[in-house]
């Protein structure tokens, strides 16, 4: 055992139950013997200071229980974490957030279906210019119709990566759906809590 290890043991508050090895070091090392004496006297001071049992203030238990009941009435919490945890830990475990994340995860998991759906929608849109073109032409918007049909046709024949980019336009819709799920989760929790 060296001085550093000895100091570490003292820092852990083990002045009164040091291993024999540490005591042997303290006998041989003057500096550590002084540290040990200081630590022991500090421990004695603390013990005498806090030895008298301090009674809880009158009505303390009642006040705590009232607060607990009020907290429970505000809603069911799946997991009650002490406030010592950072806010985002507790926020991430809110039922609404969990539901929203699960929704997002579901959409992400089935993203191939989403992309396929988006592509099918684009195929339908690509066919739309045909009749839109005729209609606009009849209404006298020829140049505009040409522009529209050209841009939509280029999208339909674009590379999968471009179509993927367009499908990513669906992302805001996903966010909206997640938000709605979150609101639904909050309302569910409110309903359960009010029961």
CA distance 18 to 36: 10
C-alpha closest to that of 115 among 59, 165, 178: 165
Segment contacting Zn ion (CB under 5 A): 27-35, 104-112, 142-150, 174-182? 27-35
Choose which of 1, 15, 32, 167 interacts with Zn ion (CB under 5 A): 32
C-alpha closest to that of 180 among 107, 120, 121, 81: 107
CA distance 15 to 41: 10
User: Is 29 a residue that touches Zn ion (CB under 5 A)?
Assistant: yes
User: Is 171 a residue that touches Zn ion (CB under 5 A)?
Assistant: no
Under rule CB under 5 A, how many of the chain's residues touch Zn ion?
Answer: 3
User: Is 91 a residue that touches Zn ion (CB under 5 A)?
Assistant: no
Q: Please report which residue ranges of 51-110 form alpha helices under DSSP H.
A: 60-73, 87-92, 95-109
Segment contacting Zn ion (CB under 5 A): 28-36, 75-83, 96-104, 144-152? 28-36
User: Is 3 a residue that touches Zn ion (CB under 5 A)?
Assistant: yes
| Distances in whole angstroms, Cα of residue 12 to Cα of each of 7, 32, 89 | 9, 15, 29
Segment contacting Zn ion (CB under 5 A): 11-19, 26-34, 149-157, 169-177? 26-34
Please, which residue, 23 or 155, has the CB nearer to Zn ion? 23
Structure tokens at 161: 């990566």
Q: Which positions touch Zn ion (CB under 5 A)?
A: 3, 29, 32
């Amino acid at each position: 055992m060296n001085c550093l290890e000895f100091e570490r043991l003292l820092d852990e508050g083990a002045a009164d139950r040091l291993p024999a090895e540490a005591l042997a070091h303290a006998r041989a090392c003057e500096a550590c013997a002084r540290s040990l004496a200081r630590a022991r006297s500090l421990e004695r001071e603390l013990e005498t200071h806090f030895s008298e049992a301090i009674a809880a203030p009158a009505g303390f238990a009642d006040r705590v229980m009232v607060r607990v009941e009020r907290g429970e009435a505000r809603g069911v919490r799946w997991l009650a974490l002490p406030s010592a945890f950072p806010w985002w830990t507790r926020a991430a475990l809110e039922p609404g957030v969990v539901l929203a994340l699960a929704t997002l995860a579901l959409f992400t998991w089935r993203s191939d279906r989403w992309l396929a759906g988006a592509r099918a929608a684009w195929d339908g849109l690509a066919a739309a210019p045909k009749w839109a073109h005729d209609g606009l032409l009849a209404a006298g918007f020829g140049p505009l119709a040409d522009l529209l049909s050209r841009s939509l046709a280029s999208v339909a024949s674009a590379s999968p990566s471009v179509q993927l980019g367009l499908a990513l336009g669906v992302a805001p819709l996903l966010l909206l759906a997640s938000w709605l799920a979150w609101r639904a989760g909050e309302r569910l929790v409110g309903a359960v809590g009010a029961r």
